[in-house]
Structure 1
Amino acid sequence: MAEIDARLAAIAERFAAQAGETAAEIGAALDREDWSELARLAHSLAGRAGMFGYGAIGNAARSVEEAVDSEFLTEAITRLTQNLLAQMAELNRA
Structure 2
Amino acid sequence: MDHLRAKMDALSARFAGQAEQHRAELAEACKARDCDAVIVKAHKLAGIAPMFGYTDIGEAALALEEAAESGEVYDAEAARLDSLLADLQA
How does the TM-score come out when normalised to structure 2?
0.98
Query: Identity across aligned pairs (percent)?
Result: 37
C-alpha distance in 2, partners of 1:55/1:38? 19
Amino acid in the other structure paired with 1:67: A
Count residues with an aligned counterpart: 90
SS at the partner of 1:33? coil
Q: Residues of 1 paired with 2:24 and 2:53: CA distance?
A: 21
Q: Which residue of 2 aligns with 1:34?
A: 34
Q: Which runs of 5+ in 2 are unaligned?
A: none
Per the normalisation by structure 1, the TM-score is 0.94
Any runs of at least 4 consecutive aligned residues in structure 1 with deviations exceeding 2 A, and if so which?
A: none
Match of 1:78 among 75, 80, 87: 75
1:6-54 deviation line (CA, Å, top 9, x unaligned): 0000000000000110110001000000000000000001111011100
Q: Give distance in 1, aligned partners of 2:57 and 2:34.
A: 21
